[in-house]
């Protein structure tokens, strides 16, 4: 039943390229060798990884499920290679950080730029990830720090609040609400709103902000990530509901960020594994983030 790393490599290559011939070119081996190893892998597993129709390969649901785990293996191998490169090049160290996609466009670039002034030789690896993937990356040691606008819950994680992160409405310039110092949720309910599905963690905060089921607005556009909502608001698709960190420290053309009067609030937090002491570099980066948020 067990398969080895070579079989995993071949499986991943076929999944990524979509064909035996392309996978053979990627791995610098012959097509018959790929076919034989793939067939042997399926025999060992006891189920089909691909459906073969008119000379083309179509992944089975089982193959797609396996790919997620295989990618995790490759992320671990990538981390080993990065560490080996650091050691071979005698670099002073490396820092691996995961962040929410919206923070990857606002807070993290500014923090990294400031951090590099003091640590120009340090290699920095940044991964923008949704909460579930960030949690996995932290627990598996793929990253040392996680910076998120949504909570991560696990007994082995330690969290530190970086900043309060209130909700704001991104209103097009010239809109009747654009000049307001703040706006109530009820005032937004009748507008063309850009929001989130119920399966998106930030979407649950937005639902809480509006209150009961009868008060929930009908979103004209639904997205999964706040920075996409911001881009849609800039394009004139409606009013986007986002957290303040999505527009932190920058001026965004064609939209105005109007605070929403609500007790519901997100928070920007820093996470790390409680049982793993942070490196000096990670501690310095945390200090950089904290100092930047106080300005």
Sequence ranges of the domains in the chain? 5-66, 91-164+268-294, 167-264
Q: Which fold has domain 5-66?
A: Arc Repressor Mutant, subunit A (1.10.10)
CATH of domain 167-264: 3.40.190.10
What radius of gyration, in Å, describes the C-alpha atoms of the chain? 23
Nearest to 169 by CA among 240, 232, 244: 240
What is the rounded distance in angstroms from the CA atom of residue 63 to the CA atom of residue 81? 26
Per-residue pLDDT, 135 = 93
Residue that has been written with the tokens 């949690």 in this structure: 135
Pairing of strands 167-172, 255-259: antiparallel
Task: Specify the 3-state DSSP secondary structure of 290.
Answer: helix
Structure tokens that stand for 122 in this block: 């340090």
What is the rounded distance in angstroms from the CA atom of residue 151 to the CA atom of residue 243? 14
For the stretch 16-38, pLDDT in tens is: 888 898 888 988 899 999 999 99
Q: Which residues contact 150 (CB under 8 A, 6 or more apart)?
A: 100, 131, 201, 202, 266
Same topology, domains 91-164+268-294 and 167-264? Answer is: yes
Per-residue pLDDT, 143 = 94
> Is the Cβ–Cβ distance between 49 and 34 less than 8 Å?
no
Mean pLDDT for each consecutive 10-residue tract of the chain (295 residues)? 83 89 89 91 89 84 89 81 67 84 88 92 90 92 92 91 88 90 89 87 87 83 90 92 84 89 88 91 92 78
Q: What is the DSSP letter of 214?
A: G
CATH of domain 91-164+268-294: 3.40.190.10
Per-residue pLDDT, 146 = 96
Burial code (b: 16+ CB inside 10 Å, e: under 16) for 145-171 equals: bbbbbbebeeeebebeebbebbbbbbb
Nearest to 146 by CA among 119, 107, 195: 107
Helix ranges (H only) for 46-175 are 61-89, 107-118, 131-139
């Amino acid at each position: 039943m067990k398969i080895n790393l070579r079989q995993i490599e071949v499986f991943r290559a076929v999944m990524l390229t979509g064909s035996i011939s392309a996978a053979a070119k990627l791995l610098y081996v012959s097509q018959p060798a790929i076919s034989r190893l793939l067939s042997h892998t399926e025999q060992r597993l006891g189920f089909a990884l691909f459906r073969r129709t008119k000379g083309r390969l179509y992944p089975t649901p089982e193959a797609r499920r396996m790919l997620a785990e295989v990618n995790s293996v490759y992320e671990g191998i990538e981390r080993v290679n990065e560490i080996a490169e650091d050691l071979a090049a005698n670099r002073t160290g490396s820092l691996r950080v995961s962040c929410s996609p919206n923070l990857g466009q606002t807070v993290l670039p500014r923090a990294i730029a400031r951090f590099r002034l003091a640590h120009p030789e340090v290699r920095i690896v940044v991964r923008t990830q949704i909460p579930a993937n960030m949690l996995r990356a932290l627990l598996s040691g793929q990253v040392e720090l996680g910076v998120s606008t949504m909570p991560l819950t696990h007994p082995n994680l330690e969290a530190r609040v970086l900043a309060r992160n209130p909700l704001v409405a991104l209103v097009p310039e010239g809109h009747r609400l654009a000049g307001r110092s703040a706006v109530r949720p009820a005032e937004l309910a009748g507008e063309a709103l850009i929001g989130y599905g119920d399966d998106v963690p930030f979407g649950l905060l937005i639902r809480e902000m509006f209150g009961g089921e009868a008060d929930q607005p009908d979103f004209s556009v639904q997205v999964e990530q706040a920075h996409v909502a911001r881009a849609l608001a800039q394009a004139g698709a409606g009013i986007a509901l986002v957290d303040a960190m999505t527009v932190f420290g920058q001026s965004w053309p064609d939209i105005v960020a109007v605070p929403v009067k609500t007790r519901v609030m997100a928070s920007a937090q820093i996470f790390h594994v409680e049982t793993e002491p942070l490196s000096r570099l990670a501690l310095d980066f945390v200090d950089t983030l904290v100092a930047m948020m106080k300005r």
